[in-house]
Amino acid sequence: MPGFVFTDDFIEQVRGANDIVEVIGQQVHLEQKGKTLWGLCPFHAEKTPSFSVSTDKQMYYCFGCHASGTVFNFVMETAKLSFPEAVRTLAARANIPLPEAVADSPAVRAKRKERQLLYRVNQWTTDYFCSQLRQATDAKAARDYLARRGLAADLVEKMRIGYAPAGWTNLVEAAESSQVPLATLVQLGLIVPRQQSGYYDCFRARVMIPIADERGRVVAFGGRVLDDALPKYLNSPESVLFDKGRLLFGLHYASPFIGKAGCAVLVEGYMDCLAAWQYGVGHVVASLGTALTMPQARLLKRYTNQVILCYDADSSGLRAALRGLDILVKAGLQVKVATLPSGKDPDDCLRQQGADYFLQEILGKAQPITEFQLSMLRREYDLDTVDGKSQFVVAAASVLARLNNEVAKTAYAQRIAREIQVPEAAVFAELTKHTRTASPARGDKLGNSRDTTSVDLAAMTEPDPVLRGFQIAEDKLLGLVLNNVTGSEELLVAWQELDVYAYPIDRELVELLKDELQKGQVLDVRRLREQVTSPELGKRLAQVVWSDSLELENAAIVASDCLGKLKQLAIRCAIADVQKRLQKEVDVAIRKQLLQDLQILIEKQKGLRH
Ligand SMILES: [Zn+2]
């Protein structure tokens, strides 16, 4: 029911009537240990239980894949429903009648009706094309084509692949005799009005692939010719239902496989996707030939944190996809690039070499994005000449400057120096130039920029008892705030001023919580968990709730201790930042200034300890 908003009271009534242990217990075998119940995680493959459900908290959290949420999140995730749909499902489960849909205006209703009709007509058209693949007099060529592509009958059936026969009015006539409104077919770009009168079919003599959204509803079609006619591929035009920048082909089929594999493979077209599925490689989706967009990246991020791009090395599609890499990274995805032998697409590769080869040699050897970009650059320049080397270093430095991780940056720079046999200092000098132009103005009073705060910590990710201490301080602070202790808002403001985070994601969380408090909301961790769509934030919220660090007694004292701890962290970061700059700086005057800064910071650090 889009456009319909349930009241908080109603949501709480539904929540109260659906105990999370009962709801999850219907799908997952749970065993009680203390106040917590444990089972095998339904969101990732495992042999020993790391999925916990808490009666007290009325939330679940997986220590393996960090899936987390409330009873509503669980239903949303397992049944792939929107939040309102999950509320309705659980209301029905508890026999709670839905409230009157007050927010449903006639205009909203009319729009919904129109969309429902569009979906229905697409469904009818899918059925029609399927029947034509079996019956049309000229369909044998299409069936032969699919067989040549190695697609077995059961996959063809499951994916509802069909055939648009040759001729100009097959679909028009079939629609007329089934009383399907022609205006709707026009809206969907399946038929076109003639200049005089009547209509003609857009898709003729083509294999028809239904393009479905992530819920499996057909929103468009892709048509592939059987001969050398052009265009080889023809897609439905964009419509109310079909926005190709917001859609990934095959997600409805691939999503459970993506969950199991822990990553998604992105290929160029739907035929590659179908081929992969045919060979049992399920975690594959396709972009529809455009540069990747932010909505697509976010869509992927709902299902996984890791993406492997798998394109023909020489295709224009790869170039388009490379333009989208930054978007994927920005959406928080880890990106790798798998390159296929020149001139081959995944389909060729699978047919000629089989699934194991594809999984191990192609996907298994995918390069992290930076390595991939560097190897592309290496090909571009003549590294036997001095000119080529210096141009390569400049180009490589611009790639490295975008990295968020200092350790990785340094390691890459050292490797480049070794590889092309130039002094490390030369590569670092170039990198410093780029870093200066790439990073925002150096900021706060401690002399560290916003970026470096999380950078240094990213480098400390190995179990570090000191970092752990800071993390516990953050868990405690957030725990206090989520329990609405007095002075929560001031706590968050003070923390934002320090601008230091042992968990980088806490910057976002602190902002979110402060916003809520400033809107006059009482924080409710379950409602918050339901509202956040970012998996990272959701995971962090659950971590805080599950951490054993909560100390509600003497909240004020605990809070000020924790803030003190974060002040220490801020100074540590600032010191590390200055030291790092000192290592690379050659200018004597700047070095002198940096040494002075360092001295001041060390004094401050001592002051805090006493
Ligand atoms: Zn899990």
Distance 526 CA to ligand 1 centre (A): 19
Ligand 1 centroid vs 12 CA: distance in angstroms? 26
Report how far ligand 1's centroid is from the alpha carbon of 566 (Å).
Answer: 31
Q: How confident is the model at residue 22 (pLDDT cuts 50, 70, 90)?
A: very high
pLDDT of residue 143: 96
Task: Spell out the residues 6+ positions from residue 106 whose beta carbon is closer than 8 angstroms to its own.
Answer: none
Mean pLDDT of 80-98: 90
State in Å: Cα 95 to ligand 1 middle.
30
- Structure tokens given for 157: 């059936």
Nearest residue to 192 (alpha-carbon basis) of 184, 177, 202: 202
Spans of all domains in the chain: 8-93, 106-242, 245-373, 381-438, 455-609
Ligand 1 centroid – CA 78 distance (Å): 12
Centroid of ligand 1 to alpha carbon of 433 (angstroms) = 43
List Cβ neighbours of 574 (8 Å cut-off, separation of 6 or more).
Answer: 446, 447, 448, 601
Report the separation in Å between the CA atom of 58 and the middle of ligand 1, taken as the mean of its atom positions.
Answer: 17
pLDDT digits over 517-562, tens only?
888 888 889 999 998 888 889 999 998 988 877 777 788 888 988 9
Is the separation of the CB atoms in 36 and 59 below 8 Å? no
Which amino acid appears at position 411 of this protein? A
Residue 181 pLDDT exceeds 90: yes
Q: Could you tell me the CA-to-CA distances from 132 to 149, 320, 366, 459 in Å, in that order?
A: 19, 35, 41, 59
Q: How confident is the model at residue 609 (pLDDT cuts 50, 70, 90)?
A: low
Most confident region among 194-203, 445-454, 582-591 by mean pLDDT = 194-203
Distance 67 CA to ligand 1 centre (A): 6
Residue 281 CA to ligand 1 centre (angstroms): 21
pLDDT greater at residue 171 or residue 46: 171
CATH class label, 106-242: alpha beta
Give yes or no for a contact between 308 and 334, defined as CB atoms under 8 angstroms apart: no
**Domain 8-93 is classified in which CATH homologous superfamily?**
Zinc finger, CHC2-typedomain (3.90.580.10)
Pairing mode, strands 334-340 and 367-368: antiparallel
**C-alpha of residue 207 to centroid of ligand 1, in Å:** 39
Q: What is the Cα–Cα distance from 181 to 186, expressed in whole angstroms?
A: 9
pLDDT-derived band at 157, boundaries 50, 70, 90 = very high
Q: Is the pLDDT of residue 37 over 50?
A: yes
What are the Cα distances from residue 445, in Å, to 448, 463, 500? 8, 29, 13
Using CB atoms within 10 Å of the CB of residue 13, give its burial: 0 to 12 exposed, 13 to 18 middle, 19+ buried. middle
Give the integer Cα–Cα distance in Å for 304 and 287: 16
329 Cα: distance to centroid of ligand 1 (angstroms): 23
Q: Do 51 and 1 contact (CB within 8 A), yes or no? A: no
The CB density around residue 593, as the number of other CB atoms within 10 Å, is: 13
Among the four given CATH numbers 3.30.9.30, 3.40.50.970, 3.40.1360.10, 3.40.630.30, the one describing domain 245-373: 3.40.1360.10
Q: How confident is the model at residue 111 (pLDDT cuts 50, 70, 90)?
A: confident
Token pair of 333, please? Answer: 């995805």
Query: 225 vs 122, 249, 315, 519, CA distance in Å?
Result: 20, 19, 20, 57
CA 65 to ligand 1 centroid distance, Å: 4
Is 223:213 a contact under the CB 8 Å cutoff?
no
Query: Same fold for the domain at 8-93 and the one at 106-242?
Result: no
Q: Which residues pair with 69 in a beta bridge?
A: 60
Answer for the pair 309, 336: CB distance below 8 angstroms, yes or no. yes
SS3 state at 249: strand
**8 Å CB contact between 346 and 358:** yes
Are 312 and 340 within 8 A, CB to CB? yes
H/E stretch holding 519: none
What type of residue sits at position 592? Answer: K
Instruction: Give the Å distance between the CA of 46 and the centre of ligand 1.
Output: 8
Which residues hold their Cβ within 5 A of ligand 1, which is an ion? 41, 43-44, 62, 64-65, 67
Segment 236-287, tens digit of pLDDT: 999 989 988 889 999 999 988 998 898 999 998 899 999 999 999 999 999 8
CA–CA separation, 454 vs 457, rounded Å? 5
Ligand 1 midpoint to CA 507 (Å)? 25
How far apart CA 122 and CA 221 sit, in angstroms, is 9
For 489, half-sphere exposure in the C-beta direction (CA atoms, 13 angstrom radius) is 8
* Span of 48-52, 194-198, 237-241, 546-550 with lowest mean pLDDT: 546-550
Q: How many angstroms separate the CA atoms of 340 and 547, rounded?
A: 45
Cα of 45 vs centre of ligand 1, distance in Å, is: 7
DSSP 359: I
pTM higher than 0.75: no
Report the C-alpha gap between 398 and 203 in whole angstroms.
Answer: 46
